[in-house]
């Protein structure tokens, strides 16, 4: 997994918040400033500034390049959306929120406690 790798995918340059590759597809991190191999999984953490880009152009690029799984995390609404690529379109697999304990693709071998992802609201 890499944080904010610069991906050069066809004519597009995108920077996912987190990206991961299976070892059999990327055995070692290349010693280059950019990566040209599409990841197997990406995670975008949306903000008011990036939401449109993350849910629009980036999702289209990732689908075109065959990224198998995508997560969208929204820290404001405390939600995780899980997508799987099917026939060049994203299929919504599941949506979770706040304090859910979840097993989600492609990491469904482990339980993720979403409550650990969010900042606590400020004290009154």
Mean pLDDT of 5-34: 94
Query: What is the structure's pLDDT at 97?
Result: 93
pTM: 0.92
Please give the Cα distance from 76 to 97 (Å, whole number): 11
Place of tokens 């900042």: 119
pLDDT per residue over 78-119, tens digit each? 999 999 999 989 999 999 998 899 999 999 999 999 999 998
Give 122's pLDDT tier (boundaries 50, 70, 90). Answer: low
């Amino acid at each position: 997994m890499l944080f904010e790798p610069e991906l050069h995918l066809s004519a597009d340059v995108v920077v996912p918040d987190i990206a991961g590759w299976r070892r059999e597809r990327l055995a070692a991190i290349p010693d280059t400033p950019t990566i040209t191999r599409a990841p197997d999984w990406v995670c975008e953490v949306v903000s008011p500034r990036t939401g449109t880009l993350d849910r629009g152009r980036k999702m289209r690029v990732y689908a075109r390049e065959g990224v198998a799984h995508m997560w969208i995390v929204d820290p404001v609404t405390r939600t995780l959306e899980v997508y799987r690529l099917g026939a060049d379109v994203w299929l919504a697999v599941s949506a979770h929120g706040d304090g859910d304990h979840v097993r989600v693709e492609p990491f469904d071998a482990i339980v993720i406690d979403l409550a650990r992802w969010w900042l606590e609201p400020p004290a009154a």
